[in-house]
Structure 1
Amino acid sequence: MERGKEASYSQSCRHRLASRFPSAKVSTSVMVVVLLSLLTFKWTEFMSVASYAYNSATFNSVKQVGDEDEFAFGILGVPWCRTRTKNMVNWTRAELLQELFVFVEIYKTRPIVNNSNGMGFDHSFGLWFIARKLQPVLAIESGVFKGHSTWVLRQALPNVPIVAISPKHPGHYARKGSAYVDPNCQYFTGRKFTDFEDIHWSSVLTEHNVTDASAVLIFFDDHQNQLRRIEAVRKFGFQHLVFEDNYDTGTGDHYSMRQICDQYHVPGGGHDCSDGEHEALVRMRRQGRWEKAINISELCGDDGDWWGVQGYARDNFGHKHRKIPHSQHFENGRYVEEILDAYWEVPPAASPLLTDQTRYDPARTVSPILLSGDQALFQELGLEDVPRNAFNAYTQMAYVKLLIPTDPEEDLLYQQVPSD
């Protein structure tokens, strides 16, 4: 880059930050580090993070790796859900860095400091970022727990109504610790609890003066079969979804988008259940380092069934199990491809070498926003002040944009997996 153009680029970036976040105190040192980071790495302001993440998944299921790749991201494959439109979101790494700077300060004010068994930092940032970018007219969340996700949505959407669905009201947890109850939230909780599929959404939308269901954002953190949730959502005309617990193949307590899209024909998808093969050896070696890393015997069932969880589609918090043949799993993936307009997995905020996280295995995850060499930027953004256990809850949270159905019979191509 020529010196004059570089100075112009630096000045324009500074002006964009100042104009976009007038309340944020962007120090010169932070700006310098951000610019150096942007100029140093291959990514540019104009390269899509989704495109980068997809490209990071376009290798064979298992690369030849050595011991030095313990922290390498994606070496065991990242099955990226394919879309009929081939669309990708245009959220850039530059945007993620800018918004990360803002969110770190917001996160420090969270009312629930210890959100054990709930969302950590990575997913909190992801939900806030997506909601802030989409600016929906209404937010719906299924699965509330103590109310942390409601608080995150409220920070991104100060004046937007929220509908919260959960068996227990978040106030229930205030008896034993911190909880958040939003004054501008309609709660379907406690005695008023009704599952998402059974709510009369036309009445709810009318009550909130919403005339376009495709302008609504739905956040699912309810540990239910995500394929079933998608079917229900399409009936009501909703389009924008976020799945918090997008569990990797072989793990979790429900059938997830990640599991559905883990197909042989998808780059980064498919598995080899043979003992002694390279995938088995790599998985065994990584088990001692990462709590969520699983070996081949845990991934594969007795018949070599690796899809879902050892060939089963789990549902209802893991209480229901339905064996599915590979042919059905393939059709599930084909169905999802036909109705998807966009798919994006929230990247981890930073490398485990910076966050000291030990839970998720980077081998099955897209590259983080901050790489191992970004220690100075990690410090400048204030991420060192975030408790280390807040980085230990990453499960490939995904943003999903659905195509609006135009043909009532198009879904008949898919035969639903029984949920009983």
Structure 2
Amino acid sequence: MLNALSLRRAAHFGDEGDEHQEDGSKTRKQLSIAMRVTNYLTRTGYLWPIILLAILIFVIASLFLHSRDLVCVSSISSFDRLSRTRFFGLDGLESDFGSLGVPWCRSKHGKTIEWTSKDLLQGLEEFVPIYETRPIKNNMYGMGFDHSFGLWFITRWLKPELMIESGAFKGHSTWVLRQAMPNTPIISLTPRHPSKYLMKGPAYVDHNCTYFAGKDFVDFGNVNWSTVMKKHGVTDLTRVLIFFDDHQNELKRLKQAHKAGFSHLVFEDNYDTGTGDHYSLRQICDQFYIQGGGHSCFKDSDEARQRSRRKNFWEKAVDIEGLCGPGEAWWGVKGYMRDDFNHTNKQISYTQHFENSRFVESVVDVYWEVPPVAGPSLTHQTRYDPARVSCPIVEDGRFGLFQRLGLSRLETSVFNGYTQMVYVEMSPKEM
């Protein structure tokens, strides 16, 4: 945003008559010179070319300044239809951040996050060299840079007394949590112990982590959390952070966490409507009454044409055929509530879908999707559709900042795993 600078002119007080005389003489002198120049240019025929040149210079300067200081407008910060258009150069496609709408879950009391874009930029500068030391360089099918930073930043900001993760895979997320909080205990629930992956390649096993894995695995919803909290000496559940990367129905996980009394949750794969292998919060909150929510299943609609065009450029862009199911069911994935790594699919009505969103709004105090680290022309990602995500931390065109933060040192492949990670703070459980 451009800061308006107020120019203040110092007041010089003298005799009132002298002041008016001085002002009058300056005006007459300036008008005289101006008239002489104008008359000369008119006689010589140079007046209009100079005026046109001045206008051209003004327009170019305005465009240059405007392109440097444009602020991206998303549905999270505004309810209007404004959006910022940038030309990417990457694929020749104009990308309009939020042009197809960015669905979001409304806060119960209108509460928002405490951190700012400045805090995110400072965090990026600190995290890049940390990320470069990661033990698992090729974390295929796991978190990339965007979500690794998001988890690290949120954890670092909240400073929990205990961290719980549901789904650890090779242990990269465990490593990220450990970098954020070096001495805080971790509880990891994962079907296969990360040590099993060490036989095939890099993995991470934490020595200050309690693993419920392998034959000791217990699903998050079946853990006696009261007993576990007593064992770890935790009395305040608002000081616990839970990270879900288990590809389970997020409504189910939200209810389980709320019932247990937890407040701070992070969902790694918060899939967009029409995509993903489980029912996500983003899908639940994709409603008609929210800007960016609700969809048209008419094949001749403006949305259908825009989606079809974007499908040619972005791997995760969904056209009407992929979005809508029988009876124009667009919620979830074609009207289905997916769960258990897509092993179970339950068809739900829009009425049920709407009721789910009302429940989420009744318990959620804060809903914040981690923005992409940088725009697609900088990261060269081709996966997510920029029209369906919030504005990046480092916007397109700001290569100098991208380079200064050290992001240009990273392989482009680490930026291709963004799936709208979301941080949720829930209201305390009513007794």
Taking the TM superposition and a 5 Å limit, the aligned residue runs for 1:298-377 are 298-377=322-401
Asked whether 1:188 is paired with 2:216, we answer no
Residues 1:59 and 2:81 are matched in the alignment = yes
The answer on whether the counterparts of 1:56 and 1:366 sit within 8 Å (CA) in structure 2 is no
The structure-2 alpha-carbon separation of the partners of 1:110 and 1:273, relative to structure 1 and needing over 3 Å to count, comes to same
Greater alpha carbon shift after TM alignment, 224-233 vs 64-73? 64-73
Out of 404, 412, 421, the residue aligned to residue 397 of structure 1 is 421
CA distance in 2, matches of 1:175, 1:217: 30
Equivalent-residue separation in structure 2 for 1:230 and 1:213 (angstroms): 15
Equivalent of 2:280 in 250, 256, 262: 256
Distance 1:226 1:341 in 2: 16
Return closer, same or farther for 1:319/1:171 CA change in 2, 3 Å cut-off: same
| Match 2:175 to one of 132, 137, 151 | 151
The total of aligned residue pairs comes to 367
Q: Which residue of 2 aligns with 1:276?
A: 300
Cα distance in 1 between the residues matched to 2:326 and 2:348: 14
Q: 2:318 aligns with which of 291, 294, 310?
A: 294
Change (3 A) 1:197 1:2: closer
Q: Which of 115, 119, 125 is 1:101 aligned to?
A: 125
Alpha-carbon shift at residue 99 of structure 1 (Å): 0.5
Q: 8 Å contact 2:86–2:95 — kept in the other structure?
A: no
| Partner of residue 199, structure 1 | 223
> 2:86, 2:319 → 1: CA distance?
16
* Match in the other structure for 1:80: 104
2:351 maps to amino acid: S
Unaligned runs of 5+ in 2: 8-64
Tell me how far 1:55 sits from its aligned partner: 2.1
Corresponding residue SS for 1:141: strand
Spell out the pairing of 1:123-272 with structure 2 (5 A cutoff).
123-272=147-296
Distance change in 2, residues 1:42/1:88 (3 Å)? farther
The answer to which of 206-215 and 246-255 deviates more is 206-215
Can you list the C-alpha shifts for 1:86-112, whole angstroms capped at 9, x where unaligned? 111021110000010000010000000
Structure 1: distance between partners of 2:149 and 2:222: 30
Deviation of 1:63 (Å): 11
Shift of 1:177: 1.0
RMSD of aligned alpha carbons: 2.4
Q: Which amino acid is 2:81 matched to?
A: F
**Displacement, 1:57?**
6.6
Q: Is the 8 A contact 1:56 1:78 kept in 2?
A: no
Instruction: Using structure 1 for the length normalisation, give the TM-score.
Output: 0.83
- The 8 Å contact of residues 71 and 352 in structure 1, kept in 2 or not, is answered as no
Q: Which amino acid aligns with 1:196?
A: F
Alignment check: 8 A CA contact 2:75 2:103 kept: no
Deviations 1:381-417 (A, max 9, x none): 110111101000000000000011225xxxxxxxxxx
Contact 2:85 2:96 in 1 (8 A): no
Alignment partners' CA distance in 2, 1:198 and 1:70 = 48
Listed as ranges, the gaps of 5+ residues in structure 1 are: 6-36, 44-48, 408-420
- In the superposition, the TM-score normalised over structure 2's length comes to 0.81
How far is 1:141 from its partner?
0.2
Contact 2:107-2:366 at 8 Å conserved across structures? yes
Shift in Å at residue 72 of structure 1? 2.5
Name the SS for the 2:76 alignment partner. helix
- Residue 11 of structure 1 corresponds to none
- Sequence identity (%): 55
- Secondary structure of the structure 2 residue equivalent to 1:163: strand
Once the 2 structures are TM-superposed, how far is the Cα of residue 41 of structure 1 from its aligned partner?
3.7
Report the Cα offset of residue 267 of structure 1: 1.4
Alignment match of 2:411 (pick from 383, 387, 398): 387
Code of the aligned partner of 2:273 = T
Runs of 4+ in structure 1 off by over 6 angstroms are: 1-5, 62-68
CA separation of 1:394/1:57 partners in 2, compared to 1, >3 Å: closer, same or farther?
A: farther
DSSP 3-state at the match of 2:210: strand
User: Is the contact made by 2:335 and 2:347 (CA closer than 8 Å) also made in structure 1?
Assistant: yes
CA 1:57–1:306: 2 relative to 1, 3 Å = farther
